[in-house]
Every structure is written in structure tokens, then in C-alpha cells.
Structure 1
């Protein structure tokens, strides 16, 4: 049964995206809305009802059984905040994430892709306008810098999804800049968790998209 399902996935590529924040959910909803006629891949954003790392990890593994690729997008500011708050002697969130990364790389190298934004999605949005490696220790500080370019920016569904002026349409003319700027920052290294990073290019450069975002 699994073989049959796997063959079907290959014929009709489909992506699942597991995210822990509403802003990411709205962003990908708008990508799908605007690129609907160009996409040869079905994309389904997933916002878990439970947002702990373990619940996201379980969902990612479950979805990987039915999707060509499953992307797990992690905002590191949340992980680092919870790491600072953990009681002495207990496993930290960053240690927990490291365990999951090791499992994914060994068991799901082709079907699950982890994407880290540090501190959060706003840093990815900022890279559309700036080439910067500055580390923002909070999402609020990254958002403040973003507002120098998107002066009306709001972290609301109304702003992200406004008809004919949604977040994806606002940023699309600068997408190639963002991809280049993100690649300059390299890959996420869990031993350097205080470094600015966005790995969103791993989604946009998936081979299943062909030349759509290139």
C-alpha cells in the first residue's frame, strides 16, 4: 500500500509546510493564491493546533508519508526563548531541536526539509530589501528594521492577505534579492544559534518548481 502511495506522490508532486506561526501561514497562503496558475505543485500550509517542538516533529513525520516533500519551518527566536527559560538540569529546546535534526538527516533526507529563520519570518522579509548578516535577538527588532522598507507593515491577517496588495505581491518584485541574500548567510549551524539565518531558499529552489522562482 505504501508503495502505491509513493508512486502516486511522484506523479503528482505535493508539498506540506508545517509552521508554528500565523504570519508564515498567511504568507504561504498568499503565495499559493498568487501563483496558482503557475504552480505544478500542490502546496498545503499546516498550522498545528499544538505548537511544541515535539508535536511539530510528529506532524512532520506523519505528513511525510503522504507528501512528496514536507517542509518544517522553525522560528529560532521561540526555541532560544524557551531554552533560556528551561529549568537547570532539564533538556533545553535547542538540544531537543538538535536531536530532531539528527533524526531527519538520517531517516528522512529526501522527504523532509527543515528551514530555520533566526529570529523569525520577518528576517526573511527584510532580506528582500537588505543584504545583512546582522543578528536580531528578537522578532520585534527584526520587525523594526523591516518597517524602514515596509512602513505600513502590520503583523495582522488583514495586512498579509489584503486583496491585490497582499504580502506576497508586495515582496515578489524583490524575491530574487531575498534568495541571493539568504544564500549568502549559508546553512544553519545549531552550534552558532546567535547568527542571523534564513533558509527559505530551500523551499523556493525545490526542483519540483522548475524555473518558476528562478
Structure 2
């Protein structure tokens, strides 16, 4: 009589993002790292307001083992600077959401990039806390190392030479550099930073990619 095999199901992780750049990057990570022990599903909310993203994160936390909310801080800061006097700033709303999540939702992790995902790409090549006023400035600095860099689906998802493949040889440098970065500081919002290392650590890719071959 055959005994039933107990197949361990992969954990399910959801990633809430507000842009195509992040979506393409995580899709390429999935494409190239098939051995990771979790199923990752990038989610782009239909409405991209901060409040809509927050609601999406909370709802997904009910059905997924882990939910990551990837935040580009430059958008929030830009919206805060243009808000009319007397209205609530986006950064204040975000900091409130951050406190609620830390207190009530243990399976939600915030991943903050300042100014944006391009800063994470940049630390694959250099250690920096440079302040960039917007994502375009970070992208220009990145071109020092990736001269052909462009924010397009074709560039990010090219077969056998996608964005993840381009950056993977430098991942250990990125891990080392982000480990040296200061933690997110609500009193110093302009300092460049990336918390992407937390994601790679929790899906156990950081340990595996850092191990000697």
C-alpha cells in the first residue's frame, strides 16, 4: 500500500507596488529565481492613491502569508510639497499607516526606497546616501554604470538580458551597501536609502546568493 506523500506547499507572498518599473523587476526576479521557496505575486492597485494602496495591502494580508508594500518616497514627498494649506500631507498619512501596520499587522512589511527603486539599482554599484530630489536624478546617476538604462518594458524584460540578470552579479555588493545605510528616518526624509535587502532576506535569497559556491 502506497503511503501518501505530504507535499509542503509554498508560502504565498504578495507585493503591492504602484508602478510598472517595480512590476517588471519582480516579474524578472520570479523568472530567474525559480528555486525560491515562495510564490510571489506582484499587485498593482487599479487606483494608485496612497489610501487605495493601503487598503489593498490590508485586504491582501488576510489571504497571503506575507505582504510587502513597496514605497517610492519621492512621490509621497512631491505630493506633500504641493498640498494646499490646511489639507493633510501625504507624508503624514503614510506615517500614520506605517504606525498602524507595525502595531496591528505582523505579516505586512513596508519596503521604503528613497527616492525610488532606481536607488536600489544604484547601490549594486556604489555605497551612497546621496540625496536625489526625484527619480530622474537617480536614473541619471545609474546611467554611469548602466549607460543604456531606460524605464521601458523592453529594457526590463529582454530575454536573456533582463534587468535582474544585468544586476545579479552585483547583488552581494547591494546587500553589503544597504546593510550600511541608516534606517528610514521620518525626520530626515531626503536622505537616499533602500530597504530592499529585507525582502531578499525574508525570501531566503540573500543567504543563498551570499553563500560561497
| TM-score, structure 1 as length reference | 0.91
1:172 and 2:176 correspond: no
Structure-1 separation of matches of 2:149 and 2:166: 11
Larger radius of gyration: 2
Question: Superposed, which structure 2 residues align to 1:4-153 within 5 Å?
Answer: 12-36=10-34, 38-108=35-105, 110-153=106-149
Render the CA deviation track for 1:170-210: whole Å, top value 9, x for unaligned: 00010111111112112211221111110000100006558
Residue 101 of structure 2: SS of its match in structure 1? helix
Cα pair 2:15 2:69 within 8 Å, conserved: yes
Cα pair 1:39 1:209 within 8 Å, conserved: yes
Structure-2 separation of matches of 1:209 and 1:164: 20
Render the CA deviation track for 1:121-167: whole Å, top value 9, x for unaligned: 11110000011111111111100000000000010000000000000
User: CA shift at 1:13, angstroms?
Assistant: 1.0
Structure 1 gaps of 5+ residues are 1-9
Structure 2 gaps of 5+ residues are 1-7
Q: Figure out how many residues of one structure are paired with residues of the other and give that number.
A: 203
Cα pair 2:36 2:203 within 8 Å, conserved: no
Candidates 177, 181, 187, aligned match of 2:177: 181
1:200 and 2:175 correspond: no
User: CA shift at 1:68, angstroms?
Assistant: 1.0
- Give every structure 1 segment of 4 or more consecutive aligned residues whose post-TM-superposition deviation is greater than 4 Å: 207-210
Aligned to 2:5: none
Residue 15 of structure 2: SS of its match in structure 1? strand
CA RMSD in angstroms comes to 1.4
Structure-1 separation of matches of 2:44 and 2:200: 20
Residues 59 and 28 (structure 1), Cα distance of their counterparts in 2 relative to 1, 3 Å cut: same
